Chain A
Amino acid sequence: MSNNPRPSSDSDPSSIGAAAKYAGLGFQLVGSILLFLYAGRWVDRRIGTEPLFLLLGVFTGLAASIYSMYRSLMADQRREAERQGGGTR
């Protein structure tokens, strides 16, 4: 990484940028819960098991989006460690 375009100083905008990656996470959480909720409701209405799959859907959506959040955080942390040469965090 000889031609790293990141400026040498830890100037403000890059740290804002690091936080800004997570600016849409709330919408993702809501979106995936709603998606699985409606999918569960659809299944319920098809096979008449209300409200089993609706409830399952809500928790699946919540768990899945938290897992997705966790994965992206871990990936960012790994990248950050790589960028700093595996040295001090």
Chain B
Amino acid sequence: MTLRSLVATLALLVLAASPAHAAGTGSACHVPEAGHEGKVDIITPHITNGDHVEIPYWKFPFFLECTLPKWQPIHVGPLEIDLSPTKHVVMLWIGAALLFLVMLLVRRAHARAVTRGGVPTGGANAIEAMILYIRNEVILPNVGHHGEGFVPYLLTAFFMILTLNLLGLVPFGSTATGNISVTATLAILTFLTVEIAGIRANGVGYLNTIFYWNNELPAPMRPLMFLIMSPVEMIGKLTKPFALAIRLFANMTAGHIVVLALMGLIFEFGNLISGAPLVMATLIMVLELFVAFLQAFIFTLLSSVFIGQIREAHH
């Protein structure tokens, strides 16, 4: 019942949005012009953000290029911020909608199975297995006492990153997690979660994780060590989310570059030995499938480790 109304709402939103988009400045789909001579860069357009999306088309070349609408930039003080949707923003929307739908279906299947007194089957069971594994083996052991409160955020981060990684592997898709802004936003969310968890767990003792004041040192050494060590502690605090953002971004981007470069070799070599790059590209693609899961897992694992670390900092 709820699900049906939600789907209807989503459909209405999409319908309502599309004429609005068309009314904006130049949002149109067209068949891309063919016949480039000489060298063509196939890698850069695939891994960078842009104001175009590709949608499937039933005639050659089997895709349409759609220009996304351009919105008026908004002004925040002296800053001019362009909030127009881009390719990766569209992938974020698609990922969020997909995840929302899948999780609602899983929840419904689960509720139905529980009232019947059994367990859900098929996809719902698979998602449940993943949720339980992440919750019981990754989040709870690393976060520590009463870690249940962090499970919703960390599971959401896991499934969102996983969905975005996988959307980058389907045809016509693009990897939103291969955009440093997206991974930086995710890392900032983790950073805020970690710091707020630290403040809540340690109270005033939280200041010890930023400033270094060691009473065991001789008195004249204390201010000197305070001046030297406090910046190092702060840098340590900031480099953790920085490493999180870079790790996810670099892994997703690097995999796509490897696959695209191998595909490029097919055209470079011609018919003679094009089979070899094809096999390698296929195998790297399978590896990418694994990396999509692995990087989502690593992000969740590291986030929960950082939360656990700051929560037991006062011991």
Contact = CB atoms under 8 A, between A and B. Distances in A.
A3 B144 CA distance: 10
B301 A20 contact: yes
B140 interface: yes
Nearest to B148: A5
B137 A13 contact: yes
Contacts of A65: 232, 235-236
Given A67-B229, A68-B232, A21 B305 contact: yes
Q: How large is the interface on A (under 10, 10 to 19, 20 to 34, 35 or more residues)?
A: 20 to 34
How would you classify the secondary structure of chain B's contact residues: helix, strand, loop or mixed? helix
Given A7-B137, A13-B137, A79-B312, A20 B232 contact: no
Contacts of A14: 137, 141-142
A70 to B, nearest CB: 12
A24 interface: yes
B180 interface: no
Contacts of A35: 231-232, 235
A86 interface: no
Q: How large is the interface on B (under 10, 10 to 19, 20 to 34, 35 or more residues)?
A: 20 to 34
A11 B304 CA distance: 16
B272 interface: no
Interface stretch (B13-21, B55-63, B91-99, B237-245): B237-245
Contacts of B308: 17
B12 interface: no
Contacts of A7: 136-137, 141
Contacts of B236: 24, 28, 31-32, 65, 68
A64 B229 contact: yes
Contact of B229 (A24, A27, A68): A68
How would you classify the secondary structure of chain A's contact residues: helix, strand, loop or mixed? helix
Interface of B: 136-138, 140-145, 147, 228-229, 231-233, 235-236, 238-240, 242-244, 247, 298, 301-302, 304-305, 308-309, 312, 315
A42 to B, nearest CB: 13
A5 B239 contact: no
Contacts of A61: 232
Contact of A28 (B142, B239, B309): B239
A83 to B, nearest CB: 10
Contacts of A47: none
13 contacts: A5-B141, A5-B147, A7-B137, A13-B138, A14-B141, A17-B301, A17-B304, A20-B305, A24-B243, A26-B243, A28-B236, A64-B228, A79-B312
Contact of A11 (B137, B228, B242): B137
A5 B145 contact: yes
A6 interface: yes
A8 to B, nearest CB: 11
